[in-house]
Structure 1
């Protein structure tokens, strides 16, 4: 199992490699689109240094690829726009051809049209990943994606152990999410945010709302829409036993300093489990490495892939 980390600049790529990521993923800005992008991410600034959520040029991407390959780290290019209408097809094809020529190791796609088109464009042995936008909640979807040429599939973080185990028997590399994620259906939620719009609405599902009752009482700052499951530290060993290929960290639209604690903890945890360390030792490492980890995740039982706030609503 490896850690797959988000990158939005050469600097962030250097840091992710340093702290244990074995694969990085990124998007490339395209002149074909204005605020949106072929990478499934809006073009927004992520820090005061001017870094964008997408890599600004092919020249910068080439530097990132060279650095990562020198460190033994692979590079995945996000081409996972949630849909590919005819008007975007030519630009999308140019986007794919450009990044393949620059030397990326794999392409991430977000819908069936993209998957079919990419398989026609790239070499037969080129690695293609089906994004969580495909909503692969069951074995049938995974089988279909395999038939269409996907080498790897990312599954939603709402699934549980037994569901993940069955999906892992299908003969594809399976990826799961390690930190944060959508409160609802990954990539298909209607609460659109952070696409580079003029008004920044924040992240609605994670926001706190004032709620008034019929009798006039008000409950202030309550996260009524937040069903987020933000930690999988206690489930890593079981995921490793299922032969999960990678733990993916989000997201490219934040400064790299906010993601690095997760990169360090999860990459170290994988190594420690491989060395035979137990969960208590792994948790002690996490709490020492990131002092806020225990209060933010463990104290709130914010646990992924096991019985949780999501599974309690299953029918």
Structure 2
């Protein structure tokens, strides 16, 4: 099982590959829109830093990664693609040009988040692998089989897939399976109305934040409390890395294109250490002392573990 890291610049790619990332994912800025991009995110992070490289920089990143046997997955990951004309040109032609620039830059795979775009890209028969985004909400074998018919090589399973489902899909050997290993959404990605990071922060200084992570005032029996009412995120998979690898997962995705590279570097190093420890036969108990205190406070103490039945937030999401 390989660790897949989010990058945005050459420096971030270098840092995270050195930290242990074996695959990376990123988009590029085609300068078509002011704040929106085809990657499923806006162009800037929470701290206003640019999170999209130019296509020229993309070539440099690909070259650096390939010299170190690291695969590069390119994002064409917008989940709401519509027909239309922009500057007297069909939108699907912009998508085509965007992807072809990436193919020429030497990327290894294209990650697509819209089913129509997925079929359109598959028909082009580009010399790269086609990956189905988490936005497609894949949680059943029938969808995996359908995606395979289209030409998809790998599917990123839904954030809230269960361990027994992962094992079942892997046993069927339909295609490569990617799961989310760190951070993610409170709800099913692609089926949530709390959209964010699409560049809305540039509009009249509008800063909604991440809606499902925000604090809300709750009235209960004449008492007012402030709570993160919708925050049901499961952020950590350290305790199940060995089980995921044994289940046949191809790639473990670390979420966080818009987050601090230093923080992501720490995550990559910790996950790499734990994964190698499991391969050497170590138990989670033997390695738990390696986990930083801030990590234990946020994830472990609240039982916000991915793919664990003990996670009450997880049960809430799937309706148990």
TM-score (norm 1): 0.92
**Correspondent of 1:151 among 129, 144, 153:** 153
Of 38-47 and 146-155, more deviation after overlay is shown by 38-47
In 1: Cα distance, 2:283 partner to 2:146 partner: 37
The equivalent residue for 2:21 is 21
Structure 1 residue 228: Cα displacement: 0.7
1:180-199 to 2 correspondence within 5 Å? Answer: 180-197=183-200, 198=203, 199=206
Structure 2: where are the runs of 5+ without partners?
85-90
**Is the contact made by 2:129 and 2:153 (CA closer than 8 Å) also made in structure 1?**
yes
Equivalent residues of 1:206, 1:226 under 8 A apart? yes
Equivalent residue, structure 2, for 1:219: 225
Q: Report if aligned partners of 1:194, 1:200 keep a CA contact under 8 Å in 2.
A: no
How far apart, in 1, do the equivalents of 2:279 and 2:263 lie? Answer: 26
Distance 1:192 1:79 in 2: 17
Hey, what's the Cα distance between the residues in 2 that align with 1:170 and 1:151?
Answer: 14
> For residue 112 of structure 2, what is the aligned residue in structure 1?
109
Q: Please tell me whether the aligned partners of residues 4 and 248 of structure 1 are also in contact (alpha carbons under 8 angstroms).
A: yes
Structure 1 residue 78 corresponds to structure 2 residue 75? yes
Q: Contact 2:183 / 2:255 at 8 angstroms: preserved in 1?
A: yes
SS class of match (1:240): helix
Which of 43, 60, 64 is matched with 2:61 structurally?
Answer: 64
Q: What CA distance in whole angstroms lies between the structure 1 residues aligned with 2:195 and 2:257?
A: 16
Provide the C-alpha distance between the structure 1 equivalents of 2:212 and 2:81, rounded to a whole number of angstroms.
26
Task: Provide the residue aligned with 1:314 in structure 2.
Answer: 319
Out of 91, 95, 100, the residue aligned to residue 94 of structure 2 is: 91
Query: 1:44 is matched with which residue?
Result: 44
Corresponding residue pairs, total: 306
Contact persistence 2:103–2:128 (CA under 8 A):
no
Indicate if the aligned counterparts of 1:41 and 1:53 stay in contact, CA closer than 8 A.
no
Q: Is the counterpart of residue 138 in structure 1 residue 136 in structure 2?
A: no
| TM-score w.r.t. length of structure 2 | 0.91
1:282 and 1:111 map into 2 onto residues whose CA distance is: 40
Partner of 2:258: 253
Judge conservation of contact 1:142–1:170 (CA < 8 Å) in 2: no
Quote the residue 2:129 is aligned against: 127
Extract unaligned runs of 5+ from structure 1: none
Name the Cα RMSD after superposition: 1.6
Query: Which shifted more, 276-285 or 155-164?
Result: 276-285
Provide, for residues 132-162 of structure 1, a one-character-per-residue CA deviation record: whole Å limited to 9, x for no partner: 0010011111111111111000111212111
Query: Would you identify which runs of 4 or more consecutive aligned residues in structure 1 move more than 3 Å?
Result: 45-48
Once the two structures are TM-superposed, the CA of residue 170 in structure 1 deviates from its matched residue by: 3.2
Per-residue deviation, 1:43? 1.6
